[in-house]
């Protein structure tokens, strides 16, 4: 066999495909990786934004529900006070005497049944 310039050696070198990093084969790969990274970054940002909006929405709903509940507690307390005032015996006697013309029976008005 001859030296490095022999015909056989030149034939082997002629059939090999040599790709350098700056050629098309390698250049497309880093662009696809960059594009995938950008897509993932945008997806993560959209997800974070959606979570933030949902958090704010639920905080507003909770705040509104808490306000409604506080108003209902105040109404309940006011109604309980009014109910207690309406059940007072003095009020019932006053309505019976003034509005209905009723009076407490005297001793002569009482009848004992045997």
Domain assignment of residue 4, yes or no: no
Taking only the tens place, the pLDDT of each residue in 37-96 is 999 999 999 999 999 999 999 999 999 999 999 999 999 999 999 998 888 888 888 888
Is there a contact between 64 and 71 (Cβ–Cβ < 8 Å)? no
Q: What's the confidence (pLDDT) of residue 21?
A: 58
pLDDT tier for residue 7 given thresholds of 50, 70 and 90 = confident
Domain assignment of residue 109, yes or no: no
Domain assignment of residue 41, yes or no: yes
pTM, entire model: 0.48
Q: What is the 3-state secondary structure (H, E, C) of 5-25?
A: CCHHHHHHHHHCCCCCCCCHH
Domain assignment of residue 40, yes or no: yes
Give the domain extent around 42.
29-98
Domain assignment of residue 46, yes or no: yes
Q: What's the confidence (pLDDT) of residue 30?
A: 85
pLDDT value at 97 more than 60: yes
Domain assignment of residue 70, yes or no: yes
Domain assignment of residue 1, yes or no: no
Number of separate domains in the chain: 1
């Amino acid at each position: 066999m001859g030296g490095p310039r022999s015909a056989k050696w030149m034939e082997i070198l002629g059939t090999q495909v040599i790709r350098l990093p700056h050629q098309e084969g390698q250049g497309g790969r880093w662009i696809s990786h960059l594009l995938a990274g950008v897509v993932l970054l945008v997806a993560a940002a959209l997800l974070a934004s959606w979570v933030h909006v949902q958090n704010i929405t639920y905080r507003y709903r909770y705040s509104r529900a808490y306000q409604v509940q506080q108003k209902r507690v105040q109404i309940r307390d006011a109604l309980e006070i009014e109910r207690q005032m309406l059940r007072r015996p003095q009020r019932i006697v006053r309505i019976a005497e003034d509005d209905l013309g009723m009076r407490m029976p005297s001793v002569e008005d009482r009848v004992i049944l045997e």
